[in-house]
A and B are shown apart, each in its own frame.
Chain A
Amino acid sequence: MQRSLNIDPGKCTGCRQCEMACSYENEGVFNPSKSRIKVFTFDAEARFVPYTCTQCAEAWCMQACPVDAIKVNLATGAKEVHADLCVGCKVCTIACPFGTINYNASSGKVMKCDLCEGDPACAKACPTQAITFVDSNWTGLDKMRAWAAKTDTGARAN
């Protein structure tokens, strides 16, 4: 069974524990600007939305990479950047329609969520269960899938 990050913005209090945990897990520092998950704030509505790569089926980032530096981890289903192969061309950063793979000038490479090899630090750190790691077939992920399908460059077989 593959699992996905499920985000329930209604439960998010904007504490940014997920950003801290992500940057520490992946970059070894407590620095939200190095986090692969970001919490967006909507002041007017007093709401917070944590957001990161959905490991979408279309995987535009992977399709666009010219040097095969993004591969699927067959165990977790995550699309992972292989830093040893990435040349830092940034084509993936314009190809992902969710804006969730980003250039890191200090490494000269890109970074994105890789589901922490199947044990995501953000979900563990979230005190309110706004981020949970659930069975991929769970229906709550439909909104993201719907948007991905709308961006699809080839309409489905008719």
Chain B
Amino acid sequence: MHYVVLGAGPSGVVAAETLRKADPTGTITLVSGENEPPYSRMAIPYVLTGKIGEAGTHLRKGEDHYAARGIDVRVNARATALMPDHKRIDFADGSHMKYDRLLVATGARPVRPPIPGLNLKGVHHCWTLEDTRNIIALAEPGTHVVLMGAGFIGCIVLEALAARGVQLTVVEMGDRMVPRMMNPIAGTMIRRWCEAKGIRVLTNTKIKALQNVAAEKSRGIFGFLKRREPTEARDTLDVELDSGEMLSAHLVVVSAGVAPNVDFLANSGVKVDRGIMVDRYMRTSVNDVFAAGDVAQGYDFSTKAHDVHAIQPTASEHGRIAAMNMAGHNIQYNGSLQMNVLDTVGLISSSFGLWAGVDGGDSVEIVDDANYKYLNLQFADDVLVGGTAIGVTQHVGVMRGLIQTGTKLGPWKERLKADPHRLMEAYIARTHLT
């Protein structure tokens, strides 16, 4: 049996390791489209801050980790076509590979919105180790940096850029920061914190166009009137906002959403919606082809629908379940829980599950604006279904446990409504004292 795992992010690596445990004799090939050892994108911000070097992002540390498990790693091999009838994958360099069972774990890639000038020098995504090197070269202390997008990934990048000591402006077209992770009250609290830390946050604002500084200067005095801050010698880019304001920048980082890496699946018969459609066994619409991670539209525990979560814990769970089923076990996925934790220049926030609540549900909310603390719990009957926390870091994981076990809170629901901080006690009482 030859298992091919296409994609060497967390999903692919966990899958390859699980395959080895489940099938000690099969042949396993792990393929990366990049010319790097298998690494973790989400560790990139810590390379930017200098907390780790590039090797710190590697998903597994031992030199011979993969070889010792009989996992053959192939890097710099970008798949360009899948031919399920021949069980064959074609690569950009003209080579091809046969498989018996295939896992597509190719993740996603950042999208570049159709805005004039986004192809200029000094504009980068923050997605790969290659991007990281480019950003490090430009994000020197004191330089003007414009970040486009304040979603979850944008805000993580924000934290890293701020730590590099740049003068940062964030431009978000939505009405708040992290709109898909935080409700308006929580998103606004994060914004106030960031502003207090010296970051300029513009919401409801779009970037209209980018151009080189020199070109714009030739327009004379009018170009300068619209600026709040003077252009600095190192600035090479002018960023025009729909408010009419002009920002100068040495670096523009684009974090405006992602798209699944599925181009090579055209004409393969693998069905794609917002990601590759998979059932609860991580099988795609094509025999012997499975999908996992950011590329997959998998089963969601809370909504009972299929969705792309694009988070690390889901990627590794998908990889494990897919691999077990590829190796012939029959394991149904209970579904992943949408959950995020974010650190915006020292303010830590998290959200879980159906944090926006459910129809006919019940909730409790505590807002402490002065101390930047927030807690919001959402219930359906006496079961916790979602939660949001800001400024709370101890025992937050118990929200996941209460949600995913569907623990009936009984009298503890009213106690939580009186004091939502007693989550851990609610869990212990309902599981250990009954």
- Distance to closest chain B CB from A9 (angstroms): 6
> A91 and B341 in contact (CB under 8 A), knowing A51-B428, A147-B401?
yes
Interface residues of A in 83-104 (CB under 8 A from B): 85, 87-91, 93-103
**Chain B residues with CB under 8 A of A74:** none
CA distance A143 to B312 in the complex (A): 29
Instruction: Tell whether A28 is near chain B: CB-to-CB under 8 Å.
Output: no
A156 to chain B, nearest CB (A): 7
Among the 9-residue stretches B23-31, B52-60, B123-131, B218-226, the one with 4 or more Cβ atoms under 8 Å from chain A is B52-60
B334 touches A155 (CB 8 A): yes
Residues of chain A in range 48-105 having any CB-CB distance to chain B below 8 Å: 49, 51, 60, 63-64, 66-68, 85, 87-91, 93-103, 105
Q: Is the CB of A49 within 8 A of B432?
A: yes
Provide the bound-state CA to CA distance between A156 and B40, in Å.
28
Contact stretch, chosen from B66-74, B202-210, B264-272, B391-399 = B391-399
Interface check A139, CB cutoff 8 A: no
B332, B352, B399, B428: the one contacting A158 at CB < 8 Å is: B332
For residue A94, give the distance in angstroms from its CB to the closest CB of chain B. 5
Complex Cα spacing A102 to B400, Å: 14
Contact of A91 with B42 in the complex, beta carbons under 8 Å? yes
Contact of A152 among B10, B334, B396, B433 (CB under 8 A): B334
Q: Which 3 A-B pairs have the closest CB atoms?
A: A97-B401, A99-B395, A99-B398
CA distance A54 to B199 in the complex (A): 41
The A-B contact count (CB < 8 A) is: 159
**Minimum distance in angstroms from A151 CB to a CB of chain B:** 5
- List chain A residues, Cβ under 8 A from B57: 67
* C-alpha spacing A89/B393, complex, angstroms: 12
Q: Which chain A residue has the least Cβ–Cβ distance from B350?
A: A94
**Residue B43 at the A interface, CB < 8 A?**
yes
B372 within 8 A of A: no
Whether B331 pairs with A154 at a CB distance below 8 angstroms is: yes
**B248 CB–A CB distance under 8 Å:** no
Binding site for B on A (CB under 8 A): 9, 38, 40, 42, 45, 47, 49, 51, 60, 63-64, 66-68, 85, 87-91, 93-103, 105, 108, 143, 147, 150-158
Report the interface size for chain B: residues with CB under 8 A from the other chain.
59
Q: Is the CB of B329 within 8 A of A98?
A: no
Contacting pair B43 A94 (CB below 8 A): no
Q: Would A64 and B313 be within 8 Å (CB), given that A51-B428, A90-B341 are in contact?
A: yes
Pair B433/A147 contact, Cβ less than 8 Å: no
Question: Which listed residue, B312, B335, B428, touches A153 by the CB 8 Å rule?
Answer: B335
C-alpha spacing A96/B352, complex, angstroms? 13
User: Is B371 at the interface (CB under 8 A from chain A)?
Assistant: no
Complex Cα distance, B404 from A38, in Å, reads 23
Cβ contact within 8 Å between B312 and A66: yes
Give the chain A neighbours of B148 by CB distance below 8 A: none
Q: Is the CB of B397 within 8 A of A100?
A: yes
28 pairs from A and B in contact (CB 8 Å cutoff): A49-B428, A49-B432, A63-B313, A63-B320, A64-B312, A66-B40, A67-B40, A67-B52, A68-B61, A87-B46, A87-B56, A90-B393, A91-B341, A94-B340, A94-B352, A95-B400, A96-B400, A97-B398, A97-B401, A99-B398, A99-B423, A99-B424, A103-B348, A150-B405, A153-B301, A153-B404, A154-B324, A157-B330
